């Protein structure tokens, strides 16, 4: 029925408060429900044994060695969380981030260990990028362009493809390129297919913005750029139409799931992408969003738990099908009662 017709007469015939009186009635008409099935838990994995380094601006989050990571992944699975995403902190960094595409790299080892120890009943997603692996902290290899030092897009594509194939060889189910290089999805899709991994899916960080909200992550992943910033590859927060172009291109290149990142300040982008394309949309509730909630809760200024549920529900209401969030374990525990 048309909206104007349904609400003809208005007040006092129509009283929207009627459906808000009884708590069970509110349950019945609730439109959006957060579910453990929506959640992806991120982990930071580093070399060593029995390492569990707290990440100061992200209370409850740690850099973990592989042996310490396994129980967390098991716990995530027990709570019903379907997927984890891995970020690697390598032993050594170099100009081209060579540990990122080594079959004995930290992420490759972690993927194999998870599949061995936890089994195949968990989706393992790997972040495919260079910023954690390069000495300069940029998301690709550097080159010179008209006197400017910048990430060389096309040389980076070859290495991204190598990295993705190496993750797939280790057993990754989904690879998630996050570097915002032009053509990265096509380069990775082609390389995966050639290597016989046509069933490995691509979750593209399609609309990824330059954001102050990544601050804590760069501490967690030890990936802060050593000079300059990421404005020549990540998107300007002022742009919305451009996100649609980014998503369209990534889908055309073969992305299976497209991501909007960060989430909270970009709910309009999530909404537009979902409406425009009707494909699976992921949203990344990033480190700074997590830090903000914890900081305000620690100060006693806001109820951290209520904020968390409200934020995640809003991200889902905006159109996200899956949410990458550091709150995943806590939220899953809560949803399980």
- Which positions lie near ligand PBG, rule CB under 6 A? 127, 129, 131, 178, 214, 217-218, 223, 230, 286-287
Q: How far is the CB of 205 from ligand PBG (least distance, A)?
A: 7
- Closer to ligand PBG by CB, 88 or 319: give it: 88
The pair of three-digit structure tokens given for residue 220, joined into one six-digit string? 């967690």
- Shortest gap between Cβ of 20 and ligand PBG (angstroms)? 35
Q: Which of residues 24 and 158 has its CB atom nearest to ligand PBG in the complex?
A: 158
Report the nearest approach of ligand PBG to the CB of residue 109 (Å).
19
Q: Which is nearer to ligand PBG, 42 or 304 (CB)?
A: 42
| Residue that the structure tokens 């009662």 belong to | 337
Spell out the residues 6+ positions from residue 312 whose beta carbon is closer than 8 angstroms to its own. 34, 285, 323, 325, 327, 331
3-state secondary structure of 189: helix
- Least distance to ligand PBG from the beta carbon of 286, Å? 4
DSSP secondary structure letters along 321-335:
SEEEETTHHHHHHHH
Residue 68 vs 160, nearer CB to ligand PBG: 160
Q: Where are the beta strands (DSSP E) in the chain?
A: 39-45, 52-54, 62-64, 83-88, 123-128, 142-145, 148-151, 174-177, 201-208, 257-261, 281-285, 322-325
| Cα–Cα distance measured from residue 157 to residue 161, given in angstroms and rounded to the nearest whole number | 6
What residues have CB less than 8 Å from 92, skipping those under 6 apart? 99
* Enzyme catalytic residues: 208, 261
Minimum CB distance to ligand PBG, residue 131 (Å): 5
**Closest CB to ligand PBG among residues 261, 274:** 261
- Angle (deg, nearest 10), helices 328-335 and 66-78: 30
């Amino acid at each position: 029925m048309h909206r104007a017709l349904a609400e003809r007469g208005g007040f006092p015939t129509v009283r929207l408060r009627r459906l808000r009186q009884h708590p069970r009635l509110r349950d019945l008409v609730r439109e959006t429900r957060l579910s453990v099935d929506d959640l992806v838990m991120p982990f930071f994995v580093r070399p060593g044994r029995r390492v569990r380094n707290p990440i100061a601006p992200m209370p409850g989050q740690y850099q973990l060695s592989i042996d310490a990571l396994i129980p967390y992944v098991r716990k995530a699975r027990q709570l019903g969380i379907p997927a984890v995403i891995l970020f690697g902190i390598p032993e050594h960094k170099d100009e081209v981030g060579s540990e990122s595409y080594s079959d004995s790299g930290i992420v490759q080892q972690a993927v194999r260990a998870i599949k061995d120890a936890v089994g195949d009943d968990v989706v393992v997603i790997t972040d495919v990028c260079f910023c954690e692996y390069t000495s300069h902290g940029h998301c690709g290899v550097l080159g010179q362009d008209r006197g400017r030092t910048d990430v060389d897009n096309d040389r980076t594509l070859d290495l991204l493809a190598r990295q993705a194939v190496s993750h797939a060889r280790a057993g990754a189910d989904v690879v998630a390129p996050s570097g915002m290089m032009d053509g990265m999805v096509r380069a990775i899709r082609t390389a995966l297919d050639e290597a016989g991994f046509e069933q490995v899916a691509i979750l593209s960080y399609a609309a990824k913005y330059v954001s102050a909200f990544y601050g804590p992550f760069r501490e967690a992943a030890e990936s802060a750029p050593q000079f300059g910033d990421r404005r020549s590859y990540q998107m300007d927060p002022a742009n919305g139409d451009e996100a649609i172009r980014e998503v369209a291109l990534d889908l055309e290149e073969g992305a299976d799931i497209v991501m909007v990142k960060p989430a909270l300040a970009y709910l309009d982008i999530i909404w537009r992408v979902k409406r425009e394309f009707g494909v699976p949309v992921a949203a990344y509730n990033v480190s700074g969003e997590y830090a903000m909630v914890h900081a305000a809760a620690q100060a006693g200024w806001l109820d951290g738990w209520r904020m968390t549920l409200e934020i995640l529900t809003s991200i889902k209401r905006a159109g996200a099908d899956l949410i990458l969030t550091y709150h995943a374990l806590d939220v899953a525990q809560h949803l399980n009662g």
